[in-house]
Structure 1
């Protein structure tokens, strides 16, 4: 015989959470009949066709939201356990996730970045062996750039009159730093071709000749600024 134990029930105090409920007001459409009031004035008879006005009724669509609480809790527990096992063994189930990417855009960016990181790790191991030969050639090119910068310093002494012109010189230095970063990326992609690098040196000389033509156009803009200053002085005189 099993002995039955009597259980004592303890009363627990429950905390009630207040939830804000949105009340939806239903509007009932009532048809109103308009009564025409007769005035004592004389009536005028009109001949011809009478036009009737038609009223358009707009239909409003109501969206109903259904809340499923029991199904969400079951899916969360099962998905976390099964995903860890299936990613390591089978890759065919990743194709099913592409259909879900169209609905959610946030998951696209996160999954693409993971694939790119795996490809970069393989490339870095191969690049380290070939970087040692290229570092010697970079030092020779830096010496040639320093000689050409001295020629630009002599021309800067003539343009010390305005403060706005000095701000443009700072912008030129920033552009040169950005070009160096772009060239480093091109060298990593092209590893076996060396003849194209010699052709790039000739193109750099042609670009500096074009800069002299641009400086002449800037002198014309200075004359337009002097005319604007004269107009401002006439206003103060009044």
Structure 2
């Protein structure tokens, strides 16, 4: 083995994970989904949230293509190729589940009948604006899709995202530079470094991942954060000011 290869192998072995991994991000978000909630989960890390909702807590999952009462991923014996979620992944249905036309599914969304939606993000602004469908590049996908309806009609919007891009650019900014999915729609942001609430006073950092400091997060954020960890923990934060400017569209 060459000296260079040996050196690179040693360097890689010394790289420690910083903050939460994808599973831990999903687990942290799942703790905040309340008993009896009707929940829609986006594609990617948000899909993992259902695995970590505490045992005994009843949560009903909705998918845009027409299923209320979505269950876990099927085993090989349970697999039904006609039973998929909006991301085209196979799912199961719990006892009492209902199937319906996607038009009725979107009526549930637009009619404010879904309590929580968990989505990914490309960018989030300090006002709670969300950009999660396009970079604006010429070869980007041509339309926003159902995310626009979800952020306008669901009562609470949680975002799970890496704190920065792969190149280290901040994803939490004063203003989004990418095309918006919705304005003033985000309530809470879960990243690999922390949990942030969108409030009418600004972005309040309410919880840090283990081993992460406020200054470390601030240096990787494109807008000034309020440090709410000094006085209150995640469960004690006063949510009365959380994104109070948001108006759910009916």
TM-score, normalised via structure 2 length:
0.19
Larger Rg: 1
Q: TM-score, normalised by structure 1?
A: 0.20
Higher helix proportion, which one?
Answer: 1
Greater RCO structure (CA 8 Å; 6+ sep): 2
Give the number of the structure whose residues are more often strand, by fraction.
2
